[in-house]
Structure 1
Amino acid sequence: MVRRETHSPRTAWTVIVLLLVIAAVTYAGVEIVLHLMNAAPILVAPGAALSWAAALPETAPRATLVGGGAVAVVIGLGLGWVSLTPGRRPRHRLGASQHAVLADNGTIASAVAEQVRRDLDLPRGAVVVGLGHRSMDVTVTPEPGQVIEKEQIRSAAEREITSYELSPRVRVRARVRRPAADQGGMA
């Protein structure tokens, strides 16, 4: 159940590719039936399309063929990547309970931001946390004159995130953004 809730299915990609294949096969079938009935083709007769494709290497510029091949390779690699890698939903499993407990990344980020804010005695809105699948980015904007080191931020965030026992584990990156009054001075 946890895997189903933390990984997204590839159903949409599968449906899109299958619809494209079905459309291409249907079109080819219609053209073949029209050719067998001696009727006019919708776009091009099957024999003419095959002759054009066979003559393409001699008639088309090499740059066009290489470009078309490169586009086909990129599309193929992209579809292969999508088919082999798991999709991720923005959720983590919390290991602090014996039950399967999942939390949304936004909820975890908000809780960590609030705890870091309290630990470092900062005003509301001074801590911004972004949580990805395997990393957390904590950005702190201290008040003018207040000195905060990256290690303080990192240790406060790691202490909080460790208590959640997230699966998969998350790496913490800390940043200190200097307040506007410290950056520019007076004009």
Structure 2
Amino acid sequence: MSANDTLTTDRTLRRVLRRESHSPRTTAMVVSALIVVIVAGYLAVEAVLFLVGAAPLLIGPGALLQQAATLPEQGANAIVIAIAAVVAIIGAVLVFLALAPGRLAKHAMTVEGEAGVLVDNGVLASGLAHRISSEAGIDRDRLTVGVGHRSVDVTVRPDAGVPLPLDAVREIGERELAAYALHPAPKLVVRRGRIQGDER
């Protein structure tokens, strides 16, 4: 395989991994487009009715503009502020959806030096909990593992009076995460949970 073929394959693989690990904005785009189409269609119908001299469906364009211009004079500032706030919130949501990465609950696992396998965070959490449980001798029911994009939280709930080997749990967890070779590599956080049976 030539260097160009390898470069093309790497580029394609990165593109596929990014597409599969990020949430598409299809729903938000369809909803936004549908709202724009409905509003534009309504305004077009009102304009046509106004031009042919027919009665408007709700309110004609001229009357609408006149009412909008006289709202502040009528003391309806609260209505204007409420409409502006709703429009601002919708705009902020759309900007957030456009700029936010929208990551799915998956990590890329490095295989032979290349990130080529996507693994669900739930599968990672289950595998990590199993490894810690078997190596540290902790009952699986006393372990809670949560895998996020940037961190892995391991909470161990001990029985009353039973010593808790947090350092051993941390070492096992870090070794297992290193074996997974995740990209991006999450940070491991190990904490002591509430003692089993303690209702306070």
What TM-score comes out, normalization by structure 2 length? 0.83
**Contact 1:114-1:127 at 8 Å conserved across structures:** no
1:68 to 83, 90, 108: 83
CA shift for structure 1 position 17: 0.4
Letter in 2 for 1:117: S
Q: Provide the rounded CA distance (Å) in 1 between the counterparts of 2:78 and 2:47.
A: 32
Letter in 2 for 1:123: D
**Contact 2:129-2:140 at 8 Å conserved across structures:** no
- Which position in structure 2 is the counterpart of 1:158? 174
- Between the two proteins, what is the percent identity of the paired residues? 39
Is the aligned partner of 1:125 residue 2:125? no
- Which position in structure 2 is the counterpart of 1:22? 37
Q: Deviations over 1:25-49 (max 9, x none)?
A: 0000001111111111111111101
Moved more, 130-139 or 24-33: 130-139
Is the aligned partner of 1:77 residue 2:92? yes
| Unaligned residue ranges in structure 2 (runs of 5+) | 1-15
Q: Provide the rounded CA distance (Å) in 2 between the counterparts of 1:64 and 1:173.
A: 49
Q: Provide the rounded CA distance (Å) in 2 between the counterparts of 1:160 and 1:92.
A: 15
Q: CA RMSD in A?
A: 2.0
Q: Deviations over 1:67-86 (max 9, x none)?
A: 43233222211210111122
Moved more, 38-47 or 22-31: 38-47
Matches within 5 A, 1:1-187: 1-98=16-113, 100-181=116-197, 183=198
Q: Is the alpha carbon distance of 1:76 and 1:151 closer, same or farther for their aligned partners in structure 2, counting shifts above 3 Å?
A: farther
Q: Is the alpha carbon distance of 1:67 and 1:36 closer, same or farther for their aligned partners in structure 2, counting shifts above 3 Å?
A: closer
Q: Provide the rounded CA distance (Å) in 2 between the counterparts of 1:73 and 1:80.
A: 10
Letter in 2 for 1:132: G
CA shift for structure 1 position 149: 4.5
